[in-house]
Structures are given as structure tokens and as C-alpha cells.
Chain A
């Protein structure tokens, strides 16, 4: 690093270059337009859309959210207008931003849906990457794709054949061994991994003895899940070579740094967007300050820089 120079916050995910490693996480940022009054969206490293499905999804019955100690549960259930309406009504605004656009997609019934979804997205050149959401806990399924290494490999492998875009696989923490799933996704051709999705959870109204959420249980997010996420990023980092996009309860630069040090190449901010819409930009500037103060010339030197005592 040149003495007076600024550190390089750029990060590379295969052929995709991000000017900085901070993204807004899927499901917490709508289609970005919702936040246009509150921040300069062009400063984001990337934006990940709310998950899109083939058909419109009305989502789950209310109440869909409730607060928990330092966190929240949601059971939104992937409410979205479907791929065609997404392309005709939401894409124009996102394209104009000029920042890498990552479209999150999910299949409701069968992985075959990914084929049609990719078919519709592949031609849109502004879409830099596809995030495969195979880890949403709100689909009322007995088992998620990302809860089985074989299923994960099959879906990632099939989608890999269909797209030349960067492929990011989003993993669930609700598994026995996340590294098995991570390695399966890597072997099947995923360019990067996003972890973690929400943790399955439940809250009960003890006065009425009913679940607090309309669909009984939901996904836990926010600072409460952060230590779980950091550990999983660290575990996965030690087993794979592709970049990790770390997320789970990041509130500020301090908590974002934990993820980088554990092994993340980039981070996604989720729940905090509801609380502090300026958080992503605060993390970008805080990260730059930290790198200057610690003489870290580029981000790759920070990723996985955890120091361990030798025993």
C-alpha cells in the first residue's frame, strides 16, 4: 500500500468484481427502491433481491414477524410477484443503479423450476449473479435442499449447466454438518457460498398459548444468530476454496470484521437494514478506516486472518 493511498476494498468472485465487499441481503432490502430515499444505493458493493419464484407467491399468513432477544423471527414465506412481474416491474430500477445485481431465486415444488427461472434471467446482462436460495425455512417443507449434500450437489450442478452467470449458493445453518453441504456446492460448480440463512425458531404467546407467528415457526435473524454464523463461516473457510459471503446479525463494522477475519470475502447485511438503513454504508467506511489503521492494503489480507495460539 502506498503510504497515502487508500486500501483496496475491491473483491473478486470468479469473474465478478465488486468495488467493495458489502451487500444488502436478500429478503431484507426489497428490490432496493424501497431504500432510495434513505441512502445512496450506488455505494453498495452489490444488492441481492428478495427471492423470486416462478409463480407469484402470496406468502404466509400474518403475523409474520416477532421480536426475540437481540433478534427477530420472520415467516414471510417468500412473498414475491413471480419472475415475469419481477422482470416487468422491478428490474428497471435495479438496472439503473449500475451496481452488481444479484437475483435470488427459489424453487417451490421442483428444482426443474430453476431451469425456467434461469432461462428468463440469463438474457438480462445487468444481472451479475444468481443466488440459489435452497435454504428458506418458511416453505413448509419437511426437508430443504440445503439440508442434504446430495440434493445440494444435484441442484447446483443442474443450474451450473444452465448459466454462465456467477452462481452463489445460500446455505442453511439448520444442518448437522455445514461443511459437508458447502463442499458439495463447491464441487458442483458454485462460484461462491452465502451463509447463513436464518435459523429455524419459534416463539409462544404464553397468555393465549398460541404461536406468535401465523405459520407457527419462522427464521431467526439478527445479532442473536451472529456467533453461530461466524463459527460456520470459519468452519467452511477451512474446507473450501471459493469465496464466502458471510452474514448473520451484522449490525456495524465491528461485527462485519468478525466475518472477514473468520474467512468471509464479502458480507451481507440483513436485519439491520430494518433498524438502521444506513448500516451498509457505515460498514463500508468503517472497514476502510480499520484497514488504514491496521495497515491492511487489500481485503484479501483480512479474509481468514484469524490468529490462533499454537498449542
Chain B
């Protein structure tokens, strides 16, 4: 696994995307070089003791020496992060965790596809995944990729253009029907799984959504790679604070994950 670094760096960009959803960009050539899709950074937003802990944020993409992150303002720490300006310093630990596995040789045939399922802010690591799939020469990357994005309403549908620019087809689901299919993104997934048999599902989003994705995947016997979120302290597998139940016992989201195969998880 790539070396983990702690560094102080400067914010390049920190702007609003939609209400509480924000985009952050900072410089770090070592993280930019080493990062793999599905990995995250653990950010200390202030030098004071409240908030005390770092906040784990998925890596959304790499642009040269710059690292892109999306985040939602949910509390004090993310509120402080949102108030930071370009040029302000940031204390970063990364890249961390086990990301998406692009080497797993699924029993692929030319007809099979990858389905990417994003819920709300869960879209963040999946853009980085899509960019990597596009460049990758692995077998998995040769299959067509379809992206399903779900959110509460139209304004929270993020990154549609990024996926389309990569040549991937995108379907949208919103709870209120303000854009695309009216309903859950997992309903969209179920309809896709009914029509075709995808070779691999990649997903990130709220826990109930991931559970529904895992269930849909298990019913059709499709492997699913799910990126989980959990309260976290160290981010490097030392405190064992962020565990999830798996068939192999408790595993850390920060080091064993954040990406797990659905078949391994116990909900």
C-alpha cells in the first residue's frame, strides 16, 4: 500500500455546489500521485481541540498536483471547513484506505456492464472511479459503464456532466421527481438488473441505500463494491473505532475499507 503522509497544504478552491454541498481543492503532489479511487483523506479543520477529531472525506479526483474533495456541511467541523478561503492552510493525512478493486476478474462477457450507483454526496469517490475506469486497461474497464445518480431533488444531483464527458450514460432518480425517474436510485438499479445482468456494481451513498444495493446485487448474484462511511478517529487502523460487521468479523472502515464487497458485509 502506498505510503501515508501528513502534510500542511493550502486550499486552492472551496466553493458551494448546492446548498450544503461543497467542492474543495488543495495541493499535494504526493497524495495526487499515490491516490487510488475509493481512498480518502482525513482532514483536521482547526488546530484547536473542539472539534477534536479529523474528518474523513473521499477523494473526488486528481488534477495534476491537486486533490479534489466534495463534502456536505453537517456540523461544526464541516462548517469551519466551509469558512476557509483559498490560500488558507489545511492539515491532511492521506491517502488512506482500500479503494475500489479494478483487478477482480468478474466472469465478464462483452455484453456485461458496470453499474455505478451514487446516492447524494456518495457521488464523490465515484467520479474518481469513473475517470480511472476510463483510463484503465483491466478487463473490468473494457465493459460499458452505466451511472445511476440519486438524490432528494434536482439541485442535489451532482457530477452528471463529469460522467457524461467520460462517455458514460447517466440515469437520474430523484425522490420528488424533479429530475429523471421519480423514486429511489435503487429502484432504477433493480429495473436495470431485471433487463440485463451487470458484471459489477460500484456504489457509494447513505447506508440504507447501500444495503438496498447489496440486496439487489445478492439476489442477482452480481458482485458489488460498496464504499462505506462510519464515525472515525485515526483513519489508519490504530484505534479500531470505525468497524463494520463482516463475515470475517469486525473490519475497520478506515484501513480494511472503506470499500467492501457486498457479499462480505453483515447489515
Contact = CB atoms under 8 A, between A and B. Distances in A.
A278 interface: yes
Interface string A265-306: 000000101111110000000000000000000000000000
B93 A79 contact: no
B242 A37 contact: no
B238 A63 contact: no
Interface in A61-117: 61-67, 69-72, 74, 76, 79
Contacts of B3: 37
Contacts of A58: 249-250
Given A62-B230, A274-B234, A223 B52 contact: yes
Contacts of A278: 6
Interface string B31-73: 0000000000000100001111110000000000000000000
B123 interface: no
Contacts of A222: 49, 52
Q: Is the interface of B mostly helix, strand, loop or mixed?
A: loop
A65 B237 contact: no
Contacts, number: 99
B224 interface: no
A72 B242 CA distance: 13
A65 B250 contact: no
A200 interface: no
A74 B240 CA distance: 10
Given A59-B250, A67-B51, A223-B52, A273 B234 contact: yes
Given A71-B52, A275-B54, A63 B230 contact: yes
B50 A70 contact: yes
Contacts of B52: 67, 70-72, 222-223, 271, 275
A142 interface: no
B238 A29 contact: yes
B233 interface: yes
Contacts of A273: 234, 238
Contacts of A274: 53-54, 233-235, 238-239
Contact of A74 (B236, B237, B239, B245): B239
B9 interface: no
Looking at A34, A64, A223, the one whose CB has the most chain B CB atoms below 10 A away is A64
B243 interface: yes
B213 interface: no
B4 interface: yes
Given A271-B52, A275-B53, A64 B6 contact: no
A64 B241 contact: yes
Nearest to A38: B6
Interface of B: 3-6, 44, 49-54, 91, 93, 230-245, 249-250, 255
Those 3 A-B pairs whose CB atoms lie nearest each other, nearest first: A65-B241, A30-B238, A34-B238
